[in-house]
Amino acid sequence: MQKFSNEYLKQILPLYENAVLEAKKYQTTLAMPPGSLGELLEIGARLSGISGILHNSLPKKRIIVLASDNGIADEGVSSAPQSVTAAQAVNMTRRLTGMSVLAKHFGNEVLVVDTGIKCEYDCPEILNRKIRNGTDSFLRGPAMSKEEAVRAIETGLELADMAKNDGVSVVGVGEMGIGNTTTSTAVLAVLKNLSPEKITGRGGGVTDAMLSHKKEVIKKGIEINKPEKDDVIDVLSKVGGFDIAAMCGVFLGCAKNRLPVVIDGYISAVAALCAYRLCPVSAGFFFPSHCSEEAGYKIAVSELGLSPYLNLGMRLGEGSGCPLAFEIMDAACAIMNEMATFSQARINDEYLEEIRNEK
């Protein structure tokens, strides 16, 4: 695995703009009013920009779930015990969780990766990339060292390389870790210079009193550690988690390998934002699945210049939006590959010239 560095980031190249333009030109020949299939056309054009070819397919889909515990859970910010992280990570491999049931239904691969699960478990199907047994509470100092943050990112880069080598066509990025809406909100608050009061949500579900406490914990943690908002590694190390840092690495690694990669919900979006801050051109490879109910979600994806494809009131995380997004991306490929042109449909499209000229 290539070590994470500025030199690595320079290897991430933007979309092939000529291929994007060619795809958009081809779409104007399809037998429909201009732009009438909306976001499906944009997806199709971006997939061409990634691959450099007009007609694409996504036969092999993989959801990579980064699992880790967060020391901040010791501060009473979550209703669930940390043992749930290990239990659900195991259940994912058995295709029993919300995400993995959907993945099984659609025939997607699921790879669960331990980057810092605290509790013991017996499950050889989980890939062991443990950095240590969870981060520290950021109320008592940094959640991790900068070296650990980089190591977590490098884990994500490795997983993206693995996907490319395995012939995966598209990757989805999910997570499992009690307390990670707290860490992701802390990261977002610092990166966007926002008050935790405005963007802290209920995560997996907390009472009003716990929500108020959660906001105060995030505020104090930022005050104690004073992360530098323009230094992503510093922010991740001080108030982040192994899962978020590794997810950031997956996003960067997919961009470097020219693999389309799906953003799941809130935590995934914050990790994608971290990747974007490290390398802005990487966002061209990101595809947003669904709108999370968490308050900070729209703030994170808006900086990426993206809008989610679905609004289903989902707030589970795990990567649960990825199987649904994969199907939408398949639909975009079908339009590009199978829809008739005006010529093939034997329709004279001269009646659209005035509309096209206005656009």
Q: How many angstroms separate the CA atoms of 213 and 139, rounded?
A: 13
> What is the Rg, in whole angstroms, of the alpha carbon atoms belonging to the chain?
21
DSSP code per residue over 276-296: HHH-GGGGGGEEE-B--SSTT
Q: For 28, what's the count of Cα atoms within 13 Å in the CB-facing half-sphere?
A: 12
Identify the CA nearest to 8 among candidates 170, 184, 231, 161.
161
Write down the catalytic residue from 75, 158, 303, 318: 318
Q: Is there a contact between 180 and 191 (Cβ–Cβ < 8 Å)? A: no
293 a catalytic residue? no
Torsion of CA 118, 120, 125, 127, to 10 degrees: 30
Q: How many angstroms separate the CA atoms of 258 and 58, rounded?
A: 13
Strands (E), the chain: 61-68, 109-116, 127-128, 170-176, 261-263, 286-288
Q: Give catalytic residues, as residue numbers.
A: 318
